[in-house]
Amino acid sequence: MLIPALHVYAQGPDAASPALSATTVPEAQQVQPADLAQMLKSDTAVRPLVVQVGSHVMFAQAHIHGSVFAGPGSQTAGLQLLAKAVASIPKDKLIVIYCGCCPWNHCPNIGPAYKRLRDLGFTNVKVLYIAHNFGDDWVAKGYGADKGE
């Protein structure tokens, strides 16, 4: 199942500033899809909290098994849902956020969501590097996805 790229660009007063694009996330904080897929399959690796910070339409189409929906990181409501989703977890817990709405250098959601988690005091935040879109870079590679919600 291939999911077409959804070009969901931020607009309006809640839009993420260009200064918070996905390209601002340090490379050391990025994780490649194959590496995350391996981590999620492993019985010995620490299982991260995986959070989708894109649109609900995308999440319903397909999402990483066990991931939680937090809403678009480019919108105030999405950032509030993100804060609520992580409110009860330790600040050093491994959190991996992802979107996949569009190519990495156009994603309006990753940068603001990453910044929000860091501002909340989370110290072990990683971002799934999705070069093209979730369908091509995760689903089509057979890493496994769930539908619905």
Reported pTM:
0.85
Segment 40-61 shows an average pLDDT of 91
Averaged confidence pLDDT in the chain: 87
The pLDDT value given to residue 19: 58
Q: Higher pLDDT residue, 23 or 78?
A: 78
Distance from C-alpha of 66 to C-alpha of 149, rounded to nearest angstrom:
12
Residue 7 has pLDDT above 80, yes or no: no
Residue in this structure with the two tokens 């490649």, named with its chain if needed: 32
CB 119 within 8 A of CB 139: no
**Other CB atoms within 10 A of residue 129 CB:** 19
Distance from C-alpha of 6 to C-alpha of 66, rounded to nearest angstrom:
22
Distance from C-alpha of 79 to C-alpha of 144, rounded to nearest angstrom:
26
The pLDDT value given to residue 132: 96
Segment 98-105 shows an average pLDDT of 93
Q: Cα 97 to chain center, whole Å?
A: 3
Q: What domains appear along the chain, each with residue ranges and CATH number?
A: 26-139 (3.40.250.10)
